[in-house]
Structure 1
Amino acid sequence: MKLESIAIQEFKQFTGRLVIDDLQPGLNLFTGPNEAGKSTIAEAVRAVFLERYKASHLKDLLPWGKASGQPSVEVTFDMDGTACRLSKQFVTRQRCELKIGQTVFGEDEAEDKLAALLGFSRAARGPLKAENAGVPGLLWVQQGGTQEVRDSTGHAAQYLRDALSQLSGGHESAGEDALIAAVQRELRQLLTARTQKSTGPLAEAEQALTALIEERDELEQQRQQFDENIVRLATQQEAFDDAQRKRPWELHEQKAVQAQQRAAAAAELERSLQGLAQSLQLKDAELALSLQQEQAATELEAAVTRERQQLDAARANVSTVQNEHAQAQASVAQFEQASADANRAHELANAAVTAGDLRSQIALHRTESERLEASITAAGKANEAVLEATRAAAALEIDGAQLKRLQSLDAELTVLRARTEAAMTRIEYRLNGAITVGDAKVSGEGVLRLDEEKLIGLGEIGELRVIPGVSDLSARLSELASLEAQHAQLLQTLGVASLGEAEARHEQWKALVAQQKSQAKILEVHAPQGIDALRAALASADARLQSANGRLAALPDVSAAPPLDEARRNADIARDAREAARKALEQAAEKRSTATATTESLAAQLQRKEAQLADEAFCRNRALWQTKIVEQRVQVEALKKQLEGRERELEAVRLDDPAAEAKRYRASAELARNEQHERQLRIAQLRSQLETVGASGLGERLAAVNASVEQATRRKEELSLRASALSLLDEVLVDERDAAVAQLRAPLTERLGHYLKRIFPQSTIALGDDLSPATLDRYGRADTLDALSFGTREQLGILTRLAYADLLKASGRPTLLMLDDAAVHTDATRRDAIKRALIDAATRHQILVFTCHPELWDDLGVRQRAIEDLKVAA
């Protein structure tokens, strides 16, 4: 099948008629930017071949902004050497006509014929669905759908199988598929397809069996619980009767009373022990006070002896420190004199450096003054030149607008004078005598220009009346006079005699203005801030020069000054030595003050303590508390022995903790009473449960459920056995079918390998049951299509469609490939490989390629047809 022409009219964005003819049997490349109409052309081809012409959903085919349009598409094509023409009109006045050779098909018959020829099925109603698209749905790729090959292959699978059957010589038995389908339908009623889980009757049987087993287990548990409750009731009743006979809670209560009595006695003993402890604590405090007073007196005597020795040492130290202070004073006086001499030398060295700096400054100030004087002189000359040029320019200045007006009037006058002279009557004369023209006599040779009626007297011969033949001459003369008056007035206003003089003055004025600007730049170079600023700077420089000379004259004689670095170093050394001597003096003075203060403090402190020891009241009190110490020690020892005896007695009482014992026995009595009460409640509860279960017919129910479990088990086993048999039969049939299909797929596998090696060498592609690509095997690794990148899936989509086209072509099916913006996500290397594959396939198929990137497809060796050019041609 080869398309020869496409005519589109009032179809979406094509509001007029667009004709595409001269389609080549191989590659056809259409280019244009986004929304140029590429996809609309591809959609028109799909619509004319695939869509039902009477479909009501095709109103979106109406031309944009034209609700009353009549979308129509007409194609001519060749089918195995037979000329064919197909035309359809949609939405309004729907019609369809297919002409094959001399045979004409109309309406539904034409669409049925198209479906049979191209390999697709008509939709019963509504828009064309993907599952009806068949071979065209596989080979005609819409924009953005190149990578989606699995669904379109599945919808064309039956046509591909038919082609494979013709090429392989084998066949795929429909009976085998029907048998497999029947077995799988039966199997799917028992097991799910993917997980092989139970479903249908088998799942119901398993669920029923599980429910019966659970019910049986529950009844078994109830019976076991019933038996256990009978034993538990007998045990509880026996324990209850035994407790009622023994009444252990009464014995615990008696022991609690006895323990409480022992606890009261222990408490009384503890209170007496606390009283003794308080008395002992008081006597201990009194003894401690007496001992503390005696200890203070003893420490005072020791302190007096120690401080007498410290005072003697302090007085000896004062004498030594005073000698050190006198030596430090002498050293400070010596180093201060040396530092003063070094500082004077340093000041003289600084004065020498200052004198050098001042001499350098004087030279700089003198140079700056000379420079400023020269700049002032040059700036004055430039300023005079600027003023002179300004005055001269002002005297010559002519208004530019009036000059342009004068030039314009002069040009108009020139033209008008020429035209007026040309319009005047021109008489050339050469006379031997004289004639009269008006009132004037004319003789000799010359030219007369007459602008009005004139009477020429010829003497005796007679006279001539000359009337100019131009009717508007007077108007021209009037206009000429008006322009000459304006011209004269403008010359007078400008103060010049002619246009040449005005232009010469204007040129002189421009020269003077340029001279003024040049002199102004010179002035700006010498005096960027004005001559007054230069004069101010000169005055400042002179003042600084005078100041520097004055400061230099005020400096002392520095002829004997040492080098500054040496003087600074000597001054620093002398200063450091002076400071060190001063610090030593400060330390000596501080030591002397400290030693004197320490000696005076020790003497005063010793005097106070000696007076305290010699005080009569102090001696009397000391004798008194020494006597108390002996008496208080005897009392403390007696109280300690009495307290120890009471503590041993209390410890013996506390060994069995009577209060805790009383609490323990009371709790035990309460627990025994509560336990007997709970035992009575449990007995009543067990009797109630046993009576309820005994009346429910537990044994009969359990027997009935056991019978149901056996019956459900047999049902489940029967269905499981049927499912296993069906699974085994399905595996055998599928294996046999797959072996036949593998032989059947050989031609398609060979064509896929032919194209695949261009981009993916050393790789193979595995097909699914619907003949669509399933996995790509590369370098020992198999990747599903979904695991591949978008660009790789797009490239596989193009190559596999070329292989399908080869397969259909070889089996006698008509093929036409349309690729709308394919290979968008492909790099340059793989795009070149795809181009070579397309060129190869174009030797067997007609291929329409639509792209918005013409620069990427300009090396196919075929003419690019721009959509915009097609629109212009239409």
Structure 2
Amino acid sequence: MKLKRVRIENFKRFRAPLELCDFADGLNLFVAPNESGKSTVAEAIRAAFFERHKSSAISGLRPWSDSSATPSVEIAFALGGKPARLSKAFLGKKRCQLIIDGKTLEGAEAEDHLGELLGFSFAGKGASSPEHMGIPGLLWIKQGTSHEIAKVVGFASDHLRNAMGDSLGELAATSGDEVIKAVETERNQLLTPSTEAPRGAYGEAIKRRTALLEELQLLRVEINAYRIAVDRLAALRLDHGQDGEARPWLTLRAQLEQAQVKLADALGLAQRRTAQELLLKQASAQVDAQRQQLQLMARDDDAVKLREEKLEAAQDKLAQANGQLQAWEPRHAQAEHASMRARDRLAAARQVATWQAQEKAVTELAAQVQALSRSHRQAQLKQEELTSLQAETLSLAMPGAELKRLREVTESLRTAQARLDAVSTALEFRLQPSAKVQVAGVQVNATDRLTVVERTGIDIEGVGRITVLPGGEGLQSLIADRDQQRKVLAELLQRLGVANLAAAEERERQHVQRAAEAKAAKSVLEAHAPKGVAALAVDIAALSTKLTEAKQALQNLTEPVGAETAGVSVSQAESDESTAKVILEDATSQLNDSKLAVSEAMALLSVASEELAAAQATLADPLRAKRKADASHALTDALANETTARAGVEALAEQLRTLNVALLQQDVERFERSAKQLESAYAQRGSDIIRLEADLEAKGALGLEEAAADKQRELDHMERRCTELERRAKALSHLLKLLTEKRAALARRLRAPLQRHLNHYLQILFPGAGIEVSDDLSPGRITRVGTNGAETGDFEELSVGAREQMGVVARLAYADLLQEAGKPTLLILDDALVHTDKDRLGQMKRVLYDAAQRHQILVFSCHPHAWQDLGVAARELSHAPGYGGGEPSTP
């Protein structure tokens, strides 16, 4: 399919007819800025083919603010080498006519015929949508959709498959699909598609078989339990009868009584040993008490010696502390005197520094007052000068509009006078020196040239009067125009108070000059008095007050005189005073420590004297010897009692070791528990016999073995059913697999031509790359050589720029495939590569140039410089016949 001419009228922004003709069979490049109508032209082509001429849902095709317009599109093209022309009008006077190879079709018949030829259909109601656009919807790329390929391929898949051949076998055709679908339906009734897990009748049969197995297993468990219970009942009856005759628990109770007697005898010996151990403990405590009393008395002698040594040590410490105190008292006095002298020197140095600082402050304030006074005088002079210049500037000022008007009127008067001079009567005189000639009563010089525009008399002495009557077309209107300009000029000059334009311009120049001088004077004034002359005077008064106060403060200070302080700075005096202060603090601390040490030594000496006196008084107590003798006798008696008690404890312990009380206690517990267990078991066995007899009678009435036989027969039937359904499911699954593999093999053969065309363009864009074709005929996984070797990824994982490049490449491959099948092709790229970088765009130009050898391609772009090397001349839309302004459209 080749476009020859496109004409649109009353279509969105194009009210007047716009015609594009002389389309090349290959590449056609149209460039224009945004909102110039490129997309509108592409939309008009799509509307002509895709929209029903009778549709009322396309009111957006009308120009803005014109609800009565009739959008129309006329396209001349060649289809299969035959000339064709499509004319459509929408909304207003609806019509559709298709003339193809001399045959004329009208209305819906023409639209349907065109849809069959190009491979698209129409919406049942309303405007067209992408799912109806088929092959043209795939090849005609709308702005911003080049990277979206899967959906448009799906909408055109049936047409693409038809183009790839109908003779690949029954399986690839509709009937083959029906067979696969029927087999798959049958299989899906028995197996789930994803996991092939049993479902439907097969699943129900397996569930029933499992349930029967569980029920049969429960019956068998119950039958087995019944048989075990019968055997257990017989054993229980036998054991119960034997125990009823033997009564073994009575023998155990006799043995229990004998063990209890032996345990009582052993416990009596244990109590006696406990009492004897208590006597031994009391005797040992008495021995320890008497020994401690004798030890304390022995320590009193040692305490006197210790107190005497402590008293001597306290006396030595007091002597050392007194020596330290005597050593630090003179040092502290010296440090205190040195610190006092350092403070006096610091006070004198600070007094000198204060006087010098005050004297410096007086000097600086005086200098500041003088400087500000000079600035104040200069500022007053500049203020007077500025006031004078501002007044002169105001007096010279003229309204800018009035001056501009004066220039215009002067120029207009000059122009009017020139026009009048051009058509008026000119008088040139070449007179003798003695000649006397007057024109309108004015003497004329020998070589004057005059122009007259009205009746004028020339008086020649000795000759008479000559009257000049000027003529000429439009003379009076020129005179009126000149007079009017003169009148306006005179009024302007009078209002401005100047004689002429030169005087006004001179006055304006003086105004500008005075304004500049005033600005300079203001700058100087601001430099001398930034806050104003009044503020500067206030500052001077304030500084003068401060100067007076500083002088008074200096007079109140007495200038310090002294050789000692003349050369000492405040910092040096502060350092000396700080050092003396530290020395004094150290001496004070040492003196206080010495005094504290003396006080502590005296306290220790007093305590030691008191403790020695107390210890000596204890030794001198007359009762102490008697208490010591009594303690010695008591210790001897306690030792004898301890020996006797220990012998009794050991004798009783030996007797208890032979009896082993713990074993006797265990015997009593064992015989008692055994007797109780035998009695309890006998009673429990009787209860179990009664319960088992009742249970067996109930179960015997259920017929468990008959029920189990019935379940077994039903289970055998369900096993045969499951086996039958399993064989059928496996057979259907195997058949579906064979059919699917066969269909996939044929599909690969089906996609081979498309794969070949895709690889052709892909090698231009990405040398060495490969691409797979998905089952839906859209681009699938792409393999490219990257920096780290081969990289594989899905089409949707690419960037937007790479996807739009691959989208264009895929559409070119579809066009090649359709062309091989004899189907019409036309490619429209409306700003299809806006996300492509410079290098990739260069490769895409090679791709498009190659595809243009086989197809007609229309490229619309708003970047003309980017397409200069496409190999074809760019056509500017604004240069097309009929192009004119209108409402904006979508870019």
**TM-score of the aligned structures, taking structure 1 as reference length:** 0.70
Q: Distance in 2 between matches of 1:687 and 1:57?
A: 88
What is the CA–CA distance in structure 2 between the aligned matches of 1:777 and 1:74, rounded to whole Å?
45
**Structure 2 letter corresponding to 1:705:** L
Report deviation, 1:613: 3.8
> Does structure 1 residue 804 correspond to structure 2 residue 810?
no
- Corresponding residue number in structure 1 for 2:111: 111
Question: Within 2, Cα distance between the matches of 1:631 and 1:20?
Answer: 148
Q: 2:331, 2:587 within 8 Å by CA — same for their partners in 1?
A: no
> Counterparts of 2:730 and 2:651 in 1: how far apart (Å)?
94
Secondary structure at 1:45's aligned position in 2? Answer: helix
**More deviation, 223-232/121-130:** 121-130
Q: 1:63 to 1:303 in 2, by over 3 A?
A: same
One-letter code aligned to 2:616: E
Q: For residues 164 and 703 of structure 2, what CA distance do their matches in structure 1 show?
A: 75
| The 10-residue stretch of structure 1 (344-353 or 676-685) with the greater mean CA deviation from structure 2 | 344-353
Query: 1:753: Cα distance to partner?
Result: 3.2
Partner of 2:837: 827
C-alpha distance in 2 between matches for 1:373 and 1:216: 123
Which whole-Å deviations, capped at 9, do the CAs of 1:146-181 have from their partners, x for residues lacking one?
23334433544454456556xxxx953457646753
1:694 to 704, 708, 714: 704
Distance in 1 (CA, whole Å) between partners of 2:686 and 2:564 is 128
Partner in structure 2 of residue 777 of structure 1: 783
The code of the aligned residue for 1:76 comes to A
- Structure 1: tracts of 5 or more residues without a match: 416-444, 447-479, 492-498
Rounded to whole Å, the distance in 1 between the matches of 2:201 and 2:821 is: 52
Is the CA contact 2:765–2:847 (under 8 Å) kept in the aligned structure 1?
A: no
Contact 2:366–2:547 (CA<8 Å) still a contact in 1?
Answer: no
User: Post-superposition shift, 1:620?
Assistant: 5.1
Query: Is the contact made by 1:8 and 1:19 (CA closer than 8 Å) also made in structure 2?
Result: yes
- Count of residue pairs brought into register by the alignment: 778
Would the aligned equivalents of 1:75 and 1:87 in 2 still touch at CA under 8 Å? yes
Note closer, same or farther for the CA distance 1:358–1:257 as it changes in structure 2 (3 Å cut): same
Cα distance between partner residues in 2 of 1:7 and 1:78: 16
Matched, 1:872 2:869: no
Instruction: Show the counterpart of 2:828.
Output: 818
The residue number in structure 2 matching 1:717 is: 727
Task: Give the equivalent residue in structure 1 for 2:100.
Answer: 100
Distance 1:100 1:41 in 2: 23
Q: Which segment is superposed worse, 599-608 or 518-527?
A: 518-527
Partners of 1:636 and 1:213 lie apart in 2 by 92
Amino acid at match of 1:706: D
Output the CA distance in 2 between the equivalents of 1:350 and 1:632: 88
Q: CA–CA distance in 1 between the matches of 2:869 and 2:393?
A: 70
* Counterpart residue number, 2:874: 862
Are 2:330 and 1:333 equivalent residues in the alignment?
A: yes
Identity %: 27
SS in 2 for 1:692: coil
Shift of 1:795: 1.3
Equivalent of residue 596 in structure 1, options 599, 602, 614? 602
> 2:615 matched to 1:609?
yes
Deviation per CA, 1:391-443, whole angstroms, max 9, x where unpaired? Answer: 9999x999979999xx99xx9xxx9xxxxxxxxxxxxxxxxxxxxxxxxxxxx
Q: 1:188 aligns with which of 184, 189, 195?
A: 184
Other-structure match for 1:210: 206
Q: Find the partner of 1:654 among 662, 684, 688.
A: 662
Q: Show the counterpart of 1:221.
A: 217
The CA RMSD over aligned residues, in Å, is 5.7
Shift of 1:801: 1.0
Aligned to 2:460: none
Is the Cα contact below 8 Å between 1:795 and 1:823 reproduced in 2? yes
For 1:512 and 1:788, how far apart are their aligned partners in 2? Answer: 71
CA contact (8 A) 1:138 1:152 kept: yes
Task: Give the 3-state SS of the residue equivalent to 2:85 in structure 1.
Answer: strand
Alignment partner, residue 432 of structure 2:
none
Match of 1:794 in 2: 804
CA 1:271–1:795: 2 relative to 1, 3 Å = farther
Which deviates further from its counterpart, 40-49 or 259-268? Answer: 259-268
Q: Which amino acid in the other structure matches residue 524 of structure 1?
A: A
Q: How does 1:164-313 map to 2 (within 5 A)?
A: 172-173=168-169, 177=173, 180-181=176-177, 184-185=180-181, 187-189=183-185, 191=187, 198=196, 206-207=202-203, 210-211=206-207, 213-214=209-210, 217-218=213-214, 221-222=217-218, 224-226=220-222, 228-245=224-241, 246=243, 250=249, 254=253, 258=257, 291-313=291-313
- The code of the aligned residue for 2:829 comes to L
Code of the aligned partner of 1:872: G
CA 1:858–1:873 in 2, change beyond 3 Å: closer, same or farther?
farther
Q: Hey, what does 2:364 align to over in structure 1?
A: 368
- How many angstroms does 1:608 deviate by? 2.0
- Cα shift at 1:758: 2.6
**Is the 2:184–2:736 contact (alpha carbons within 8 Å) kept by the matching residues of 1?**
no
Distance 1:179 1:134, change over 3 A: same
Change (3 A) 1:643 1:550: same
Amino acid at match of 2:885: V
Higher mean C-alpha deviation, range 242-251 or range 802-811: 242-251
Secondary structure (helix, strand or coil) at the match of 1:554 reads coil
Aligned residue for 2:145, secondary structure, equals coil
CA distance in 1, matches of 2:603, 2:144: 108
Contact 1:358 1:548 in 2 (8 A): no
Alignment of 1:46-85 (within 5 A): 46-54=46-54, 72-79=72-79, 82-85=82-85
Report if the CA contact (8 A) 2:362-2:551 is conserved. Answer: yes
Given that 1:345 and 1:561 are in contact with CA atoms closer than 8 Å, whether structure 2 keeps it comes out as: no
- Of 843-852 and 604-613, the range deviating more from structure 2: 843-852
Distance apart, 1:834 and its partner CA: 2.0
Q: Given the two structures, how large is their TM-score scaled by the length of structure 2?
A: 0.69
User: Could you list the per-position Cα deviations for residues 518-555 of structure 1 after superposition, in whole angstroms to 9, with x for gaps in the alignment?
Assistant: 88557638989544643653564576567668867423
In structure 1, give the amino acid aligned to 2:713.
A
Note if 1:555 corresponds to 2:561. yes
Shift in alpha-carbon separation, 1:567–1:726, aligned structure 2, 3 A? closer
Give 1:298 shift: 3.3
**1:234 partner letter:** V
Q: How does 1:567-606 map to 2 (within 5 A)?
A: 585-606=591-612
Aligned to 1:470: none
Q: Say if 1:127 and 1:518 are closer, same or farther in 2 by CA, change over 3 A.
A: closer
Contact 1:389–1:515 (8 Å) recurs in 2: no
- Residue 561 of structure 1: how far off its partner (Å): 6.4
The amino acid that maps onto 1:333 is P
**1:307 deviation in Å?**
1.3
Structure 2 unmatched runs, 5+? 411-440, 443-486, 498-503
Alignment partner, residue 759 of structure 2: 753
Residues 651-710 of structure 1, C-alpha deviations (whole Å, 9 max, x = no match): 933335458658855884687355764576466446544542436432244135325524
Query: 2:856 is matched with which residue: 846, 863, 867?
Result: 846
Q: Which moved more, 1:639-648 or 1:104-113?
A: 639-648
Alpha carbons of structure 1 residues 767 and 557: separation in structure 2 relative to 1, 3 Å: closer
2:549 is equivalent to residue 524 of structure 1: no
Aligned in 2, Cα 1:657/1:89: closer, same or farther, shift over 3 Å?
Answer: farther
